[in-house]
Structure 1
């Protein structure tokens, strides 16, 4: 466990932490498989939604291995393209929702001088699209949206390490809902806040987090306790 000291920055996962991903991804997921079937790249019923939801927070290549393990790699890559396009189209139409309290809590953190960043295993355009179209962009550091898709990192540990080095951060909290977030935080000596409200995680995924919260706004009380 890592001691809870006052952070100069907070690093947030996106899906299942800031953004209620199912409100955007599920319509895009079904449309993706409709198109794959139309192109002759996939046959049969669309795999159950639990496979895509259970993969949130993983690298995309691992998600498709879980969703359609028998499909060739080029089918996985086409699915990447389709899902990204359909989600970005949805964001531009105003689809998708933040979790309760996210915008207000981030605003309060920013007002208290906390530098805000994202670190996601998603694609660059998706991560930046969520932040932009949900109106959160002014709250984050100007170059503070980090994604595996942009920096081609093989783990979130590496992604967070890169972020810390580039921005000269020594004390930060990692906030996320999956084991990869816990690993990324502790792998870089950070205090880890486990978000236990999304419902995507597997049993015991957040057991090693330093603290768990049932709503995003609880971060303010944690910060007060660190002061």
Structure 2
């Protein structure tokens, strides 16, 4: 979802700033908002996010910060401050017309993902949305494996912008398509089977996948 379908950067910085302003108000933070640090670790499970951003704080503070952060994210989504990446709708139509089933596998929280799906009516194309919260291991490879088993998928691809997406594809015998978008890192994308700079490039890839619903 983040950095592949949804332009998280449009609401990320303001939501993170609001969260750390809240922490400052509670006298729990004095430094600058660690926006760059968050950008570096985009794609990791949420517990790792807050352990990294708040390394010297107790878990209860991290949990409260995460809850506040997600409230702000969802508010901005509902207010229309975010956006899908260019050509998402066009590509989704293309995939569905070619008999492909579409799933979202994300490290995002369930309520956050549901807000995006609802606001942009993604359920018109997406068969099911899966959150890392649904599996105990907090590993995206295991999350994708859940989808593969549930829907008996024999051929397909994982399309994403971070190493966790690429590894999830390879651990499940799927094609890894790396998106060179906002949060992508070159050394991670180098490990993908294919790198794309625009979702429109999926046009040529779809035929090779020979997807079946």
User: Contact conserved, 2:161 with 2:184, CA < 8 A, in 1?
Assistant: yes
Question: Aligned residue for 2:116?
Answer: 130
State the SS of the aligned residue for 1:212.
Answer: strand
Q: State the partner residue of 1:210.
A: 193
1:47 to 9, 13, 33: 33
Quote the residue 2:155 is aligned against.
171
Q: CA RMSD in A?
A: 1.5
Structure 1 stretches lacking a partner, 5+ long: 1-13
1:226 Cα deviation (Å)?
Answer: 4.5
How far did residue 89 of structure 1 move?
1.0
Q: Is the 8 A contact 2:106 2:131 kept in 1?
A: yes
For the residue of structure 2 that corresponds to 1:97, the secondary structure is coil
Tell whether the 8 Å contact from 2:144 to 2:168 is kept in structure 1 after alignment. Answer: yes
3-state SS, counterpart of residue 44 of structure 2: coil
Off by >6 Å, runs of 4+ in structure 1: none
Determine whether 1:64 maps to 2:50.
yes
Give the C-alpha shift of residue 106 in structure 1. Answer: 0.9
Note if contact 1:32-1:83 (Cα within 8 Å) is conserved in structure 2: yes
Structure 1 or 2: larger helix share? 2
Q: How many residues align?
A: 210
Q: Confirm whether residue 194 of structure 1 aligns to residue 181 of structure 2.
A: no
Partner of 2:10: 23
TM-score w.r.t. structure 2 length? 0.93
Aligned 8 A contact 2:16 2:33 in 1: no
Question: For residues 73-152 of structure 1, what are the structure 2 equivalents within 5 Å?
Answer: 73-141=59-127, 144-152=128-136
Cα distance in 1 between the residues matched to 2:110 and 2:95: 24
Gaps of 5+ in 2: none
CA distance in 1, matches of 2:161, 2:81: 22
For the 8 Å contact 1:19–1:99, the answer to whether it is kept is yes
TM-score by length of 1: 0.87
Following superposition, the deviation at residue 193 of structure 1 comes to 0.6
